[in-house]
Amino acid sequence: MLKQKSLNNNNEQKKKDSPLRFYAKYSSLGFQMLAIILVGAFGGQALDKWLDWGFPVFTLVFTILAVVMSVIYGIREFFRQDKR
């Protein structure tokens, strides 16, 4: 019984240390951050078109806010995944 538990722990450790798992985890985090930025940029652009202003205020503001939010999200997820 003890030997089987040891083998299960070794298999779980190999799964956690897999390079493919590492790349998948961080590339998905990058895609999520990209999605946040694109939603902010296109949302600001749509709002500027709807209001028909000469200067794209909402595009700039929403894009900058989306970048800040995605960096905060990325840092939080990085440390959250690091603890697991």
- Rounded to whole angstroms, the Cα distance separating 38 from 46 reads 12
- Rounded to whole angstroms, the Cα distance separating 52 from 17 reads 52
User: Helices (DSSP H) in 17-56: which residue ranges?
Assistant: 19-51
- Rounded to whole angstroms, the Cα distance separating 77 from 75 reads 6
Tens digits of residue pLDDT in 51-81: 998 999 999 999 999 999 999 999 998 888 6
For the chain, give every domain's residue range: 18-83
- Rounded to whole angstroms, the Cα distance separating 63 from 44 reads 7
Tens digits of residue pLDDT in 9-51: 555 555 566 888 888 888 999 999 999 999 999 999 999 999 9
DSSP character at residue 76: H
